């Protein structure tokens, strides 16, 4: 149970709901208010479908390319570390400006909300790592569903949270998330190195 909860928390942190709030608010600005929740639910559903696909194809992917668990752990830890640095030192308002096309007034579809903001490289790598470390795919599926539920609940309330916390509050939460993920990424790398040394 502790491993399950730890995996859910780690994946939820990697999904970075609080860091994505400014991006989602910006991307949905030109969508009519009555359509925003529908569009948001659709994008979150697409992202969830992609992540579930990785739950069931992750082991096949690793076997097909002959990737060992320790290699995935080390590579995933490095990737997670780079994502963490971006959370700690990055500026979400700048990223939002880059992802928003002022000439495009259509509502977002798949890109950039579902991919890469939710089902991005970090999240998909983490799912494969969890799949490799968990004997049951159904347990991994439970982790993905629980983390997605947490992520979706936060993003569905993105406008409210953004208004309450403001830019500084969101930035503080994102940097705290980044610090936690840095510790997790170092632990993943050291765990992978430890497994390699045992061979």
Task: Give me the half-sphere count of Cα atoms (radius 13 Å) on the Cβ side of residue 7.
Answer: 22
pLDDT for 40: 93
pLDDT for 99: 47
Nearest to 132 by CA among 47, 48, 75, 198: 75
pLDDT for 125: 81
pLDDT tens column, 142-161: 999 999 999 999 999 988 88
pTM: 0.74
3-state secondary structure of 192: helix
Per the structure, how many domains does the chain have? 1
pLDDT for 82: 79
pLDDT for 177: 78
**Structural domain for 67, as ranges:** 2-198
State the virtual CA torsion across 103, 34, 108, 178 in degrees, nearest 10: 110
Nearest to 171 by CA among 120, 121, 118, 96: 96
pLDDT tens column, 102-114: 344 467 888 888 8
Cβ atoms of residues 139 and 43 within 8 Å: no
pLDDT for 90: 67
Listed as ranges, residues in the chain with pLDDT below 70 are: 1, 90-106
């Amino acid at each position: 149970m502790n491993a399950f909860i730890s995996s859910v928390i780690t994946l939820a942190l990697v999904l970075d709901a609080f860091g994505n709030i400014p991006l989602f608010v910006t991307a949905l600005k030109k969508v009519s208010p009555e359509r925003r929740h529908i569009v948001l639910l659709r994008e979150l559903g697409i992202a969830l479908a992609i992540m579930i696909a990785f739950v069931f194809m992750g082991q096949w992917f690793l076997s097909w390319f002959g990737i060992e668990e320790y290699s995935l752990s080390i590579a995933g830890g490095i990737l997670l570390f780079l994502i963490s640095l971006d959370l700690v030192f990055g500026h979400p308002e700048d990223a939002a400006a880059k992802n928003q096309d002022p000439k495009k007034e259509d509502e977002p579809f798949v890109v950039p909300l579902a991919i890469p903001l939710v089902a991005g490289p970090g999240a998909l790598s983490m799912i494969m790592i969890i799949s490799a470390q968990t004997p049951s795919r159904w347990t991994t599926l439970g982790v993905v569903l629980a983390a997605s539920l947490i992520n979706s609940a936060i993003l569905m309330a993105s406008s409210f949270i953004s208004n309450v916390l403001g830019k500084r509050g969101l930035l503080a939460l994102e940097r705290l998330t980044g610090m936690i993920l840095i510790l997790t990424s170092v632990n993943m790398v050291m765990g992978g190195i430890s497994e390699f040394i045992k061979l």
